[in-house]
Amino acid sequence: MLRDLPDAEEIAAASERLLRAGDARGRLPTPVDDLVEAAGLLASDEMPFDESVLRRAPTHLADAVRRLGLKHKVHAMLDRRERLVYVNPTIQQESRRRFRALHEVGHDILPSQREPAFADNVLTLSWATHLRQERSANQTAAELLFQRELFRQIAAGYSIGIAAVIELGDLFGASYQATLRRYTETHRAPLAGIVLDHSPCASEPLSFHRKEAICSSAWEERFGRPDAWPPILHAPTFSFVREARDAAMWQSTTSGEFRLPDLANTFHELQIEAFSNTYSVLVLLWQPQRERLKRRRRLVTAAG
């Protein structure tokens, strides 16, 4: 979350500058190619990362790749000297390609990141990473893709639920997981978003590995941060894993309720919805409230 990062002001300022330079504000889905161009970069699908090519590559590129270890697949790369952004052509999902390109743009436009080249794999691109430069590049990509405050302004017109996440993701051209993260952390209501493995890690008791946990400021003030929950979530303590199992099994949206104590140890009934994106199960938790004049959406089956 932007508020957690020590370089939050730098990320916000750099993102604002590029959104203006690329004339991207209000254009949906977010014009990623225009932002890459406005940063003075060129996109390339060529990936010069196998060992035979690396032996002939410039030292700054070879060093960036080798820092990952050659056994790790390179998903994206920035060559600051040649002003090139590479996204691995084997990545087919367009929303992931868009985010990876903006992650490399983030490396380039943040003044505090001065290395001549960056190479990224699934670990450095993950929001669970604790490497400062990678976290900052991820956050910059999110600020650009969701156009800073524009996402929250549009999201405020929707009733809370997974259907809003799906529609907003399609609107901005983002993955549903990235959209769940943005939706949750920027919402004014008490919301939490949990990303689980697609399959249980145990059946007795039913358990899922937790990949990610984010929340809104209002949730944190009332319930604390969900990233303090255990890395393995078991039923019945975390009963929503049952909805997660059903969502993954039936490839549909499931709903239910979950009781959780707040920081004063008063229990609250929370609403749950779970959704499978085929890679993970996305769970949205919120405290029901009156919502007037909001766009209501009903999601019947999972989108791809």
Give the mean pLDDT of 187-210: 97
- Is 50 exceeded by the pLDDT of residue 126? yes
pTM above 0.85, yes or no: yes
Produce one character per residue of 264-293: b if its CB has 16 or more CB atoms within 10 Å, e if not. Answer: eeeeeebbbbbbbbeebbbbbbbbeeeeee
Instruction: Give the model's pLDDT for residue 193.
Output: 98
pLDDT for 28-85, tens place per residue? 999 999 999 999 999 987 765 666 666 667 778 777 777 776 546 888 999 999 999 9
Query: How does 101-136 read in b/e, with b if 16+ C-beta sit within 10 Å?
Result: bbbbbbbbbbeebeeebbbbbeebbebebeeebbbb
Give the separation between CA 16 and CA 12, rounded to whole angstroms: 6
CATH 3.30.450 intervals, the chain: 150-286
Residue 23 pLDDT greater than 80, yes or no: yes
Whether 107 has a pLDDT exceeding 60, the answer reads yes
CATH number of 150-286: 3.30.450
Percent of the chain's residues with pLDDT above 90: 70
Check if the beta carbon of residue 75 is closer than 8 Å to that of residue 122.
yes
